[in-house]
A and B are shown apart, each in its own frame.
Chain A
Amino acid sequence: MVKDKATVVVVGGGATGVGILRDLSMRGIDALLIEKLDMVNGASSRYHGLLHSGARYAVRDQEAARECIEENTILRRIGKSCVEATTGMFVQVEGDDPDFVDPWLQGCKDSGISTRELSKEEALRLEPNLSRKLKVAYEVPDGAIDGFRMSWQNLQSAAHYGGRYKTYTEIIAVNVENAAVKSIKVRDNVTKEEYEIECEILVNAAGPWAGKVAELAGLECNVSPSKGTLIAFNQRISNRVVNRLRKPSNGDIFVPHGSITILGTSSITVPDPEDTTTSWEEVEDLMKTGEGVFERLRDYRILRVFAGSRPLYVPKGAEGGRNASRGFVTIDHEKEDGLKGMMTICGGKFTTYRLMAEKFCDVLAPKLNNTAKCRTAEENLVPEVPEADKKAARQYFPAYGVNLAATRLGVEKFGEVVKTLKEEPESREVLCECENVTMAEIKRIASEPTSHSVADVRRRTRLGMGTCQGNYCAIRSAAVANKLFKDKLAESSDSLSDMKNFLQARWKGITPVMAGKTLREAEMTRGMYELLFNVNGGRRG
């Protein structure tokens, strides 16, 4: 049954997909994005969140380096509330190859990336946790970028121009008539309903799943999912991005985000993009390299480990893994395979998502006789919350965190949340004390059509993502937040299961690092939920 219709359907709610949706919408093309789960659940959130200056590619791939620095500059401008303009450091410690420095400096210069040499004293003053074995340090314009927020703001901007999006909507078939895509069949993963969406052009932006989507149309697209494992630490180990100044390798990037630091990344080719398991060996590998830069790394508390799959495109006969190109490809299946109305975009990296969308849409738009120019670099993603509004809001917030809430929510939703806080004092209850998330904000996000579970809300509010790792908010979300989703995504049937599921989701990321200070937290979680609450129930057996 045909239930919906769009000129272009974009498959995949990662950075690439949302970038394309925004670009198409701003060109005036009717577009609909579908995502099989919640937005940004794949590689666009499961990475270190580095806004590359390009310096990392300065030696090996200067084209990528140049693209990075240009896009870096644009994103700082259009996405102010998603970017932490931290700057970055490239450092060498004793034992690193000093001969790598000159070619790297030359590469940065040739690519237009500014570098500034820092004396050892200055570097240690700026970043006191750095190893005392530091030899050289350079400052580059790296930054940190919040993948969730950037993607959601792209969607918001797209919606402003008429773009539409649906989550929990999975493509299950491609209907082809006369060698042209006519429609697609999708399944609503909440209601399990299946229906058709008519379209003129189908865009496969499914990242590491792109091969699987291509298969639905009987095509081959050689994507090699490359798993990257990352470690999230409980605090900001540094205030700047810190890179190891050497040939890019595992575990040599530290990125500070809000209150945490992410260390990444490994690169392991895996057959299944869903494989996000992590072994002790992978963790040890990252830690061993990481403690070269921060000697006391093992004394810092790890919050969790997570992994994501990079969508590396491997042309036939080429090499995968770390040496596969980080560039992207646009495949016009009409040209390549004789199937009209289907295009695939694959590969690339988060920092250049906008540029990728621009280049891709430059190929797509003419097929629809659209000659509009790309405008995505000209306009801010979302309007910023004015300082005056934030100041006025402070009196209704039960705790600090106004700025954080403002950047998370954006003008419109922030205004609504403040209004709720003002009018309903009971909504001021702070459900998540680590990240200062109020009941009012939880309710607001839960009311979005894309919110079907506490997990969906968690990703957008940071509920339960902070230092207590859900110990205090699992019970609160089970008792309060979960009630907001009756008849929606059925995660479980009762409050005890809700609590357990909430904590189990965190547990997955904790088990590979159950050592050091993380053990302390785990004992506390069990002490609270197994002893104080006996969540497994009383008279068992």
Chain B
Amino acid sequence: MSKSDVVVIGNGVAGLMAALVSADQGKKVTLLSYGAGTFPLNSGVIDVLGYDDAGKAVANPIEGIGRTADNHPYKKIGMPAVQDAVEYFKKTVADEGFPYVGSLKEQQWLITSVGTLKPTCLLPESLQASKCFDANEIVIVGVKGLKDFYVDMVAENLAKELGSDKKYTTVTVDTYITGRDLTTRDVARWVESDKGYGEFLAQIKNQAGSGKAIIVPQILGTKGNYVVYNKLVKDLGCAVVETTGMPPSVNGIRLRDVLLSALKKKGIRVIENVIAEKAVVKGDTVTAVEAGGEVRAQTYEADKFILATGGFYSGGITMRDFGEYKEMVFGLPVEGDCVEERWVNKQLFSDKKQAFAMAGVRVDSSLRAVDESGNVVLKNVYVVGRNLSGYDFCFEHSGNGVALTSAYKAAKA
């Protein structure tokens, strides 16, 4: 295998972005991928910072970032890189025909599939909730046989968010598909077919009208291209908003496909289904990683390595027993507050961050891992995304934001 300039390990949002930005620096990039990242669980929007440390909604992400703690990844990434990364992302998806709306200056909102509002920074236009804020009537469209999108529950919770002075109507459409319980992806495929679109439109057309907003599950096509969305808005003549969805998340997969398409255009080599097992280290420099399936590992040489293997969920960091952290590729130092009284909050949905969610690799402002005295451990290994310590992506709603901006910074370094 010929040597690369950069090897990126991991194919979530952080890994794919790191590969793209690296390739744009003129680097020869190899991406080692294992599994589907978190895309099938991911709403495919870029949350930068939704809530502050007190759990209060952040109106302006830039200001929110300024107020984060010193050990927060954003403080290490720095504001210029955060801003550039956001612009880079917007350009990348726009070039692929799937432009996102939003900016760091003003928080956007989307509607979840249970009817709550969720703050986010960048999102596809089809998910933008603000379009329905001024509507007089909200029409919630369910699908027969589609589990996990319950129109009554959406109406109940949305009324709490948007006010009960609006009218909330529900309607359920039939896909005429028989067989198993449907997923949003099944329905999205139906809606993007000519026949399905016709059937769908016929069943909701009489609900549309001025002053109305139509809320649908994430079913407006499987592809990130707005084809179905644009057609529907035109045909209905009113606002249409997609919600988030239960896994498999249609929009998460849309975003993945769009990013993979960009990767392919840039000639980035993707090696699928390989686990990076260990590093070849000379002094404080990594010369290669060995990665493979069960049979044999191949050696992937490079000048620079970007670690984007994720945290506990993705297995990039493990803790077989309390306190026994392990970063699985380079054995980088992991920090966390693994003390019985503090490791897990008694309440699952707590008013404070969960310590276990904050555990990760300790890095300096160059995003390279440092030991307890602050010395860089491996000088050509950069750590991004959920591998990093110091933030609770669920509590803050900051997962893809940290992933994107840390990847950008690491790739530029």
Contact = CB atoms under 8 A, between A and B. Distances in A.
B112 interface: yes
Given A520-B315, A523-B313, A527-B41, A534 B112 contact: yes
Interface of A: 279-280, 284, 298-299, 398, 426, 429-430, 472, 475-476, 478-480, 494-496, 499-500, 503-504, 507, 511, 514-516, 519-520, 522-541
Interface of B: 38, 41, 43, 47, 51-52, 54-57, 109, 112-114, 116-119, 144-145, 147-148, 150, 152-153, 156-157, 160-161, 180-181, 244-247, 249, 311-313, 315, 318-322, 340, 343-344, 346-349, 354, 356-357, 393-395, 397, 399
B68 to A, nearest CB: 16
B97 to A, nearest CB: 25
A515 B313 contact: no
Nearest to A526: B394
Contacts of B249: 532
18 contacts: A426-B144, A475-B148, A478-B153, A479-B150, A511-B346, A514-B356, A515-B321, A519-B313, A525-B348, A529-B349, A532-B247, A532-B249, A533-B112, A533-B116, A533-B244, A534-B116, A536-B55, A541-B51
A523 B357 contact: yes
B147 A476 contact: yes
A530 B244 CA distance: 12
Given A507-B348, A532-B112, A533-B244, A519 B319 contact: yes
B247 A475 contact: no
Is chain B's binding surface mostly helix, strand, loop or mixed? loop
Nearest to B152: A479
Contacts of A398: 180-181
Contact of A538 (B47, B161, B357): B161
B321 A298 contact: yes
Contacts of B113: 532-533
B41 A514 contact: no
A530 B395 CA distance: 7
A541 B57 contact: yes
A289 B160 CA distance: 52
A200 B152 CA distance: 51
Contacts of B245: 532
Contact of A539 (B117, B147, B321): B117
Closest 9 A/B residue pairs (Cβ)? A541-B56, A538-B117, A479-B150, A523-B313, A519-B312, A507-B348, A534-B118, A530-B394, A526-B394
Nearest to A483: B152
Contacts of A504: 347-349
Given A495-B114, A516-B321, A530 B312 contact: no
Given A527-B38, A538-B116, A280 B347 contact: no
A279 B348 CA distance: 17
B47 to A, nearest CB: 7
Contact of A519 (B55, B180, B356): B356
Given A532-B249, A540-B57, A496 B321 contact: no
A440 B224 CA distance: 38
A284 B321 CA distance: 9
Contacts of A479: 150, 152-153
Given A475-B246, A504-B347, 10 more contacts: A426-B144, A495-B153, A526-B348, A530-B394, A532-B244, A532-B247, A535-B116, A538-B118, A538-B161, A541-B54
B181 A430 contact: yes
A460 B346 CA distance: 26
Contacts of A494: 156-157
A537 B148 contact: no
B161 A537 contact: yes
A504 B348 CA distance: 6
